Amino acid sequence: MIELDPAGKREMGIPSDAGGEQALVARLRNGDETAFELVVRREGGRLLAVARRFLRNEEDARDAVQDAFLSAFRSIESFGQGSRFSTWLHRILINACLMKLRSSRRRAEDSIEELLPKFQEDGHQVNHSNPPWEGSAEELLARSETREIVRRCIDKLPETYRSVLLLRDIEELTTEEAARLLGVTENAVKIRLHRARQALRTLLDPTFRRAFAS
C-alpha cells in the first residue's frame, strides 16, 4: 500500500528544476526505491486532490492514485523528456480516474435536458432571467465563499458532462487531450462542454440570484 501525504508536503527537498527532475527520472528508471518514495511524498497529496474531484468516494480516489503511481513507475521508460514529470503523472492519474468511472457505471445517466436553456421558435430564450454573475467554474471554485456550492452543483451533473467539465475547466486539459482520454471526437468534447457549462449555470442560478439580490 502506497502511503499518501494528504497535505502534499514537500519537506523532502526534491529539486523542481529541470536538471533535478531529469536526475530523479533517471533514478526511477534504475529502480531506485528511495526515488519512488520521494515522488509519492511530493506528488501524492496533489494527485489525491484531483482524484477526489472525479471520484466522490474516498476509497476509490485513493485507489486511483495508487493505480496511477504503479502505472507510471511501470511505464517510466516511456516518459518523454519534453514534458514535465508532474504533468505526465497528472495525465496518468486522470486516465486512472476515468477508467474507474467507466468500470463503476452500471445504469443509464439522467438526462441533462431539463438543465439547459429553452428557446422559443424565434430563437429568443424562454424565461431569460439569469443574474449578471461572471466567472468560470475554476474561478468560482477558487473563491472560498462559493467553493462548496460549486462543487455540489458540479457533482449533480450526469457523469458524461461532469467529466468533460472537470477535464477542460478544472484540470485545464486541451480539447484534444480531453477527447483522447474520453475516447470521443474533439467536436463531441466541445458540445458536451458547452452543455455542461449551461447546466452548471442553471444549477448555480438560484444561489447567485439570491446573493445578487441581497
- 91-124: per-residue pLDDT in tens? 999 999 999 998 876 555 666 777 776 654 544 4
**Among 2-11, 27-36, 102-111, 198-207, where is mean pLDDT lowest?**
2-11
Helix axes 85-104, 175-182, angle to 10 degrees: 40
Residue 13 lies in a domain: no
Q: Which three cell numbers stand for residue 60?
A: 476509490
Domain boundary among 60, 82, 104: 104
pLDDT of 150 higher than 90: no
- Number of domains into which the chain is organized: 2
pLDDT of 75 higher than 90: yes
The model's pLDDT over 31-44, given as tens digits with 9 standing for 90+, comes to 999 999 999 999 99
Q: What is the pTM of this model?
A: 0.74
The model's pLDDT over 118-146, given as tens digits with 9 standing for 90+, comes to 654 544 455 545 544 555 666 666 666 67
Domain membership of residue 50 as a residue range: 18-104
Residue 181 lies in a domain: yes
Q: What's the CATH number where 122 sits?
A: 1.10.10.10
Domain boundary among 104, 135, 170: 104
pLDDT at 14: 44
Q: What's the CATH number where 24 sits?
A: 1.10.1740.10
Q: Are residues 117 and 209 in the same domain?
A: yes
d(CA 181, CA 152): 24
Domain boundary among 72, 104, 136: 104
Residue 7 lies in a domain: no
Q: Are residues 161 and 194 in the same domain?
A: yes
Residue 161 lies in a domain: yes
Q: Are residues 93 and 37 in the same domain?
A: yes
Count the residues in the chain: 214
